[in-house]
Amino acid sequence: MPLRTLPEKDFFGRKEELVGLYRRSLEVERGSTQSIFLSGSRGVGKTELLKQLFNQLFWKQDKIAPFYYSINSAIVSVSEFSRDYLMRYICQRLAFENKESSLIYREGLSIDGLTSILEERNAFWALEILDEYIQYHEPMDSLRIALNVPHQSTLATGMPVVVMIDEFQRLNNFHISGNAAPMLAALFEMPLSFR
């Protein structure tokens, strides 16, 4: 499986929710779903539900690219987040296109390393996005490019994307050049509602 999840026999009591989320995700292709917000107390299984959804979208269909991103509590700067988000998106997208789950776990991959992978696979849409990202050094420009990558990849390839962001509340801990930036969550509104 692409994302490490509970064995199917241990994932019980949430099948209806998973089926509902899967169906809603497939509606993205028709343009009828924009955003779904999954909320609940800690420890109720939201993360597992999202991972199970990602795996189903990854293996059981080929029309909608899934992207799962868990905001890492060790990342606190906008620059670090932007780079991580962009790199993980591109790796997951390539993994999905080729059903090559090993690309999902490319920890420590450099931008040069990713560029080589993209060139090998003729992923020109991703090379263009990565080139644009490299040109900008201002944290907010990098963030804008990173958050817009699912939309840009959809425009370039025609394949819609389901974006699943876990631990969203951690965005409130980010800073820009040493200054607190608690309103960064609002920047997701435009990329998530581009349709």
3 occurs within a structural domain: no
For a pLDDT cut of 70, what percent of the chain falls above it? 82
1 occurs within a structural domain: no
Whether 6 has a pLDDT exceeding 80, the answer reads no
Interior CA angle at 91 toward 117 and 12, to 5°? Answer: 145
| Residue 170 near residue 76 (C-beta atoms within 8 A) | no
Give the pLDDT score at 114.
93
Residue 1 corresponds to which tokens in the numbers above? 């499986």
2 occurs within a structural domain: no
47 occurs within a structural domain: yes
| Range 27-34 contact pairs with CB under 8 angstroms and sequence separation of 24 or more | 28/64, 28/160, 28/161, 28/162, 29/63, 29/64, 29/160, 31/160, 31/195, 34/192, 34/193, 34/195
Distance CA 171, CA 141 (A): 17
Question: Across residues 104-131, what is the average pLDDT?
Answer: 91
Local structure of 141: helix, strand or coil? helix
Tens-digit pLDDT profile for residues 43-102: 778 889 999 999 999 999 999 999 999 988 888 888 899 999 999 999 999 999 999 888
Supply the range of the domain harboring residue 173. Answer: 8-192
| Residue 189 near residue 92 (C-beta atoms within 8 A) | no
**Domains held by the chain: number:** 1
Residue 24 corresponds to which tokens in the numbers above? 């809603």
Whether 144 has a pLDDT exceeding 50, the answer reads yes
**Which amino acid belongs to residue 178?**
G
Please report which confidence band the pLDDT of residue 174 belongs to, taking 50, 70 and 90 as the band edges.
confident
CA atoms within 13 A on the CB side of 89: 27
- For residue 59, give the nearest of 48, 47, 51 by alpha carbon: 51
137 occurs within a structural domain: yes
Question: Across residues 24-31, what is the average pLDDT?
Answer: 85
Please report which confidence band the pLDDT of residue 155 belongs to, taking 50, 70 and 90 as the band edges.
very high
**Residue 32 φ/ψ, nearest 5 degrees:** -95, -5
For 7, counting Cβ atoms within 10 Å of its Cβ (0-12 exposed, 13-18 middle, 19+ buried), the class is exposed
By mean pLDDT, which of 3-7, 107-111, 114-118, 142-146 is the weakest? 3-7
Whether 2 has a pLDDT exceeding 70, the answer reads no
Give the pLDDT score at 148.
92
Provide the whole-model pTM: 0.85
Whether 192 has a pLDDT exceeding 50, the answer reads no
Distance CA 191, CA 105 (A): 25
Beta strand 179-180 with 65-70: parallel, antiparallel or unpaired?
unpaired
